[in-house]
Structure 1
């Protein structure tokens, strides 16, 4: 039986917890004797003191739906980008036994970890899931209509606003096609909107899209506050997205814009097609190609090649923390879990790598803070107090 076997993977995890019976121990022994590499890995797993020393900079976010546990690396001094892998994926990509050791031992630490935060704090955090607030639209008249979160999304049709299944949302008639409508998506949820030209927009948490009931004139213009993924329908008229200090112009393509006000930057990531990004403050533009990301910060535009799938991971219910600063991660959590984050002293300088599922409770995500010795307190009013490094070091 080789290392790709999930049975062997689970035996190794059970071995770390000292839960193997006599028959399983024999089975693992036979596996180890099949190759020197297998034996070396088992020897490493047996050296508990070395494991603890090697793992002092590792933290994790477990996926409790299975025994294959994800981990997050939290270390301010890391120079190279390190991605998150499940135990199975580490094996598939042929990573060294040392990395397999890390993934396995993160599971061991998860089951035996003594939290930094007090018990009441941990219970409070584990009671916090994504907000249950419902998205809503604001009609030109000012009327607010709450939308059903159970529906796939909203379509701007010839008969007005309707759900994706064809059912009507409101009997209000919008007389002027140019009248602006706002779709607001609250913290803790996402929503899909199909515009009158067939363009599809997925809005992330705490985001607002302003759009006309029907496009008219030589451009199709919308405004974004927050984050959204656009799949623009092809047409002769350009599609323009205004967001903070930039505008994006396309004919037919797909891209993601992150323009949250609380961030010190705006990022635009192109997945397909071609777009022209115009920076209004410095009057400069960049023509982007798929796989490129432009960040606007400090009135400058920076173009980089990225994994564009990371930019839209939120659409599939995931956080991706790769190379994000501590404050960026906290902003993500605040928008999703509807919490307020307060820093006592300096903001920790840790950078995060890895991912986590948004349907987890906040307590699971905060375990990454516990094991990296960052002290915090979760108050009853959904306020997270960050006190910095244990012992006073930020």
Structure 2
């Protein structure tokens, strides 16, 4: 079998298109080269966590009944080269060559300032520790940990609404008057009462946030442009960015009721389940997932599992405030699994994608061009 045939086979394996016999052949190759790990080049220390994430998700189910996968920097190299699909080609043809690097320019995480819009229309940049007073003296504390605290706000007969807007590259936490915590992701906005009153606790979200709702007999309702979520006390991640094709709810603990704005039926989901609402065809999808994949942004990590490259780049844009163009549209549908720390420059993740896919990235200022290798 020639290099091209081997490369094509490994590419099919990466895209889950192999027959059982072909998968068996790939695993035999893995076993064979595992005996020769000392001859392989070392992998950069900083990429071990990302590579291990991919290795674990892709091959652990196949190998767990047959052998124990020994993790070392050499084993990581073997797995990433042979399982992802660039392996034999790299090992046989380019061992002595450097992988093409990104342009020396780079893009750092954006550092915009969150803004609080008060009920009287005033806008307050949240760039320093302060006590903010809204209409009639309602007290809001903004501390050094990027937390807006409303627990000192007194209940009033009139509902006063505030809106916090978080820019690209930012995150912010709001501690609502009932003790519920809302962690906002970048490019998101939350509208909420300074103090809850009446029989329900209701807020409105644009973008993405993680909710840890304080238990109460008063329902907590989150409205977005496309879905409504109703809970009493629970923890969940809710995402409904305007540019995304779907809105989703991922439940971590408790129980929530979700429905699409165009749907009469409500769906009750339990921990470990994900509700996805397709904005284009109005279809609902329910599936069991690993919630960690969808709340990793709170832990300072990008995590992707079998995600389209275009969708990955949209997420990067919200963090780095960059623009993305493609050499041709076929590149948008390539899929990638991996992880990267969010506090690094954009090239940190882009280099990883370059390593295990057939694309390369050119950076010019804050513009990224995605090309074929």
Pairwise TM-score range, normalised by the shorter structure: 0.7 to 0.9
- The 3 A distance-change label for structure 1 pair 124 and 154 is farther
Between the aligned partners of 1:234 and 1:155, the Cα distance in structure 2 is 27
Deviation, 1:100, is 6.9
| Residue 364 (structure 2) aligned to one of 379, 385, 390 | 379
Between the aligned partners of 1:331 and 1:263, the Cα distance in structure 2 is 9
| Residue 281 (structure 1) aligned to one of 238, 251, 262 | 262
Deviation, 1:189, is 1.7
Q: Residue in 2 aligned with 1:71? A: 51
1:95-244 correspondence runs (5 A): 95-96=68-69, 101-104=74-77, 114-116=98-100, 122-125=103-106, 128-148=107-127, 159-164=138-143, 177-244=158-225
Q: Residue in 1 aligned with 2:336? A: 352
Q: Residue in 1 aligned with 2:36? A: 44
Between the aligned partners of 1:385 and 1:367, the Cα distance in structure 2 is 13
| Residue 332 (structure 1) aligned to one of 315, 318, 332 | 315
Between the aligned partners of 2:51 and 2:132, the Cα distance in structure 1 is 36
Give ranges in structure 1 of 5+ residues lacking alignment. 1-38, 52-59, 75-80
1:221-370 correspondence runs (5 A): 221-297=202-278, 298-348=281-331, 349-370=333-354
TM-score norm. by structure 2 comes to 0.73
Between the aligned partners of 1:344 and 1:166, the Cα distance in structure 2 is 42
Deviation, 1:286, is 0.3
Deviation, 1:73, is 8.7
TM-score norm. by structure 1 comes to 0.69
Between the aligned partners of 2:147 and 2:297, the Cα distance in structure 1 is 28
Between the aligned partners of 1:229 and 1:155, the Cα distance in structure 2 is 26
Deviation, 1:317, is 0.3
Relative contact order (C-alpha < 8 Å, sep 6+): which is higher?
Answer: 1
Between the aligned partners of 1:154 and 1:330, the Cα distance in structure 2 is 37
Partners of 1:131 and 1:336 within 8 A in 2: yes
Between the aligned partners of 1:373 and 1:152, the Cα distance in structure 2 is 50
- The 3 A distance-change label for structure 1 pair 341 and 68 is closer
Q: Residue in 2 aligned with 1:83? A: 57
Between the aligned partners of 1:250 and 1:73, the Cα distance in structure 2 is 33
In structure 2, the residue corresponding to 1:310 is in which secondary structure? helix
Give ranges in structure 2 of 5+ residues lacking alignment. 1-30, 82-86
Deviation, 1:339, is 0.6
> Mean Cα displacement is larger for which, 276-285 or 245-254?
276-285
Between the aligned partners of 1:101 and 1:166, the Cα distance in structure 2 is 40
- The 3 A distance-change label for structure 1 pair 42 and 322 is closer
What value does the CA root-mean-square deviation take over the aligned residues?
3.9
Partners of 2:148 and 2:174 within 8 A in 1: no
- CA deviations 1:205-261 (Å, max 9, x no partner) are 111001111112221110110000000111121000011211000011110001111
- The 3 A distance-change label for structure 1 pair 366 and 272 is same
